[in-house]
Structure 1
Amino acid sequence: MNSAIASGARRLVPALGAVLLSACTTLMPVQEGQKLVGQPQAAIQAMFGQPTDAFRLPDGTSRWIYSKQPMGQQAYGADFDRNGNLTSFRNVLSTPELYKAQVNTWTKWDVAEHFGVTRLPVEYFPRMRNEVWSYRFRHEDVWPSLFHFYFDDAGVLRRTQITPDPLYEPDERFRRW
């Protein structure tokens, strides 16, 4: 009987370790990703899976995006040097990252490279002649919000806007007074 228990325990320990490792990458992906700086792309893919977006950047480096959109509020950027080794891992849908967008300079391609392809419905406002891409995020790491990028017909970023995320707004119709 004791050998059966010991055998079962030997099989359970590796499985439990895999579950705990998976929980860490789910609950603290930035911390886990930063531990892998210097590792090759294969190590990042083994930890986080296939990226939702992958870009070859003009300087020969590359960026993988792991987006939690459309319902999540994060997208993780994994940057690699020319040799394919991880140089940084961060949430690209944070307030400081979103503020890096350069109005009148960036294009749709620049926004996609930095934040991933939008997974929320694209809107078009004919009177403004602007296409709008939106991303869920936590403004200042607190408030559920949407960050909107407005592009002109040439695909140039002309303005940005932050609004509350209606997904998290209380529905006043059902409030009892």
Structure 2
Amino acid sequence: MKGFPGWMFAGVALLLSGCAAMRVYSAPPQPGESETQVIERLGEPTHRYGEGNNHLLEYMTGPWGQATFMARIGSDGRLVSYEQVLDTAHFAKIVPDKFTKDDVLRTIGAPSDTSYFPRMQREVWSYPYREANTWDSVMHVYFDDGGIVRSLQNGPDRRRTPGLGMPGSGL
């Protein structure tokens, strides 16, 4: 088009491609829907986990998103439940000295970040979430070298809480 800069076309194309990748749904999947219908609605899951005769489809909301959704698919291939799992109720299900890494993955999904503290000999998985749907928090799950949960620790999400800054940043 005459008088319409080429960069505007490129910008509009980029914007539209971003919108295509971002899915907006009017309603979450409902129990009884087939696994195929769930995947058509939500896209490919970020992870899949076996659980007896059932399996779980995990939908994380980004590398540091505050929600992870689990779609539980029954042995008949139909949706049993669909729920957000990064909350106090699901963290409370994690039993120190009993739960393994696999148990944690099936309960609250993959972590947003992992780290290792050599002096403690603990691997830590971190999960940002909205505590009581109010506070920006992070739950840390500590594992021993055998992959057993030894403790959980909750604290403020320093990336999202004004005035706290990042440790060691001087902020």
Answering whether residue 146 of structure 2 is matched by residue 150 of structure 1, we say: no
Find the partner of 1:168 among 151, 160, 167.
160
How do 1:1-177 residues align onto structure 2 when only pairs under 5 Å count? Answer: 22-25=23-26, 32-33=28-29, 36-57=30-51, 59-120=52-113, 122-171=114-163
- Following superposition, the deviation at residue 166 of structure 1 comes to 0.6
Residues 82, 164 of structure 1: CA spacing in aligned structure 2 closer, same or farther, 3 A cutoff?
Answer: same
Query: TM-score with structure 2 length normalisation?
Result: 0.78
Give the distance between the partners of 1:130 and 1:146, measured in 2 at CA.
17
| Equivalent AA in structure 2 for residue 32 of structure 1 | P
Q: In structure 2, how many angstroms separate the alpha carbons of the residues matched to 1:112 and 1:90? A: 14
**Distance verdict in 2 for CA 1:172–1:84, change over 3 Å:** closer
Instruction: Give the TM-score of the pair, scaled to structure 1.
Output: 0.76
Structure 2: gaps of 5 or more residues: 1-19, 166-171
Per-residue deviation, residues 10-43 of structure 1 (Å, max 9, x unmatched): xxxxxxxxx9xx5335xxxxx522xx21111001
Distance of aligned partners of 1:48 and 1:166 in 2 relative to their CA distance in 1, 3 Å threshold: same
Q: Secondary structure at the match of 1:132?
A: strand
Aligned identity (percent) is 31
Find the residue that maps to 1:168 and give its secondary structure: coil
Matched residue, 1:12: none
Report SS of the residue matched to 1:45.
Answer: helix
Q: Please identify runs of 4+ aligned residues in structure 1 that moved more than 2 A.
A: 22-25
Q: Is the 8 A contact 2:67 2:86 kept in 1?
A: yes
Contact 1:95 1:141 in 2 (8 A): no
Superposed displacement of residue 172, structure 1: 6.3
- By percentage of residues, which structure has more helix? 1
Q: Is the Cα contact below 8 Å between 1:108 and 1:157 reproduced in 2?
A: yes
Alpha-carbon separation, structure 2, partners of 1:24 and 1:69: 17
Amino acid across the alignment from 2:108: F
Equivalent AA in structure 1 for residue 162 of structure 2: P
Contact 1:69 1:136 in 2 (8 A): no
**1: distance between equivalents of 2:115 and 2:48?**
24
How many residues in Structure 1 have an aligned counterpart in Structure 2?
144
Which structure 1 segments of 5+ residues have no match? 1-18, 26-30
